[in-house]
Amino acid sequence: VTLPSASDETFDELMRDLDPPLLVVTTAHDDERAGCLVGFHSQCGIAPRRYALWISRANRTAAVATRATAFAVHVLGAQQHELAALFGAKTGDDIDKFARCAWVPGRDGVPLLADCPDRITGRKRDLVEVDADHVCLVIEPLDTHQVRTDSWLRLAEVHDLRAGHPPDDPPHPR
Ligand SMILES: Cc1cc2nc3c(=O)[nH]c(=O)nc-3n(C[C@H](O)[C@H](O)[C@H](O)COP(=O)(O)O)c2cc1C
């Protein structure tokens, strides 16, 4: 086991201080549904518009994402800790997350979370392997809805959660 250096710890602290808003990405392929909590994400294109999310290879969501084309990206409100726990601290390998939350099927069956009206639905443009333990999912937004304008759920609010699949888990079988 290699202990983190002082610089690694400073990196971790800087990343925590940036305090990103948290998203839930969902997807579906045939009858298979998947989704996970995501803190690594950003707009990555202007013309055309593109959004990038980084998905851990360990997650079941990464495996389904290789086959799926439709995705929904939900922005969580400050009060939605419970949904963050369902999608971030549990894996679809153990439980059916979609039996435990309200959703309706959208484009190509992608689950739209009923309690998360702030969302982008779109299609996969790329799923890129890079030298990291997460892969980059690039989405073309097709339909965006915004209801809330502030008070998003941020990383600092969920320090009690432990990832359902820690990133040092082996890559999920696809
Ligand atoms: C605060 C927090 C942030 C997370 N950010 C990401 C992320 O950016 N990308 C990712 O793939 N997983 C992230 N995770 C981990 C997944 O949400 C988690 O491992 C989930 O249980 C995977 O579910 P699945 O196996 O059903 O896909 C995060 C978890 C937490 C608690």
Rounded to whole angstroms, the Cα distance separating 29 from 163 reads 23
Q: What is the secondary structure of 55-106 as a DSSP string?
A: EETTSHHHHHHHH--EEEEEEPBTT-HHHHHHHHSS-TTTS-GGGSS-EEE-
pTM over 0.95: yes
Nearest ligand 1 atom, CA 164:
21
37, 136, 159: which to mutate for ligand 1, most atoms within 8 A of CB? 37
Asked if 118 and 147 count as a contact pair (C-beta separation under 8 A), the reply is yes
26 Cβ below 6 A of ligand 1: no
Q: Length of the chain in residues, anyone?
A: 174
Question: With a cut of 50, which residues of the chain have pLDDT below it?
Answer: none
pLDDT of residue 157: 97
Q: What percent of the chain has pLDDT over 90?
A: 95
Q: Which two tokens stand for residue 17?
A: 């201080």
Contact (CB, 8 A) for 120 and 143: yes
pLDDT tens digits, 68-96: 999 999 999 999 999 999 999 999 999 99
* Alpha carbon 64 to chain centroid, angstroms: 13
Atom of ligand 1 at shortest distance to CA of 36? 17
Which protein residue has the closest C-alpha to ligand 1 atom 7?
38
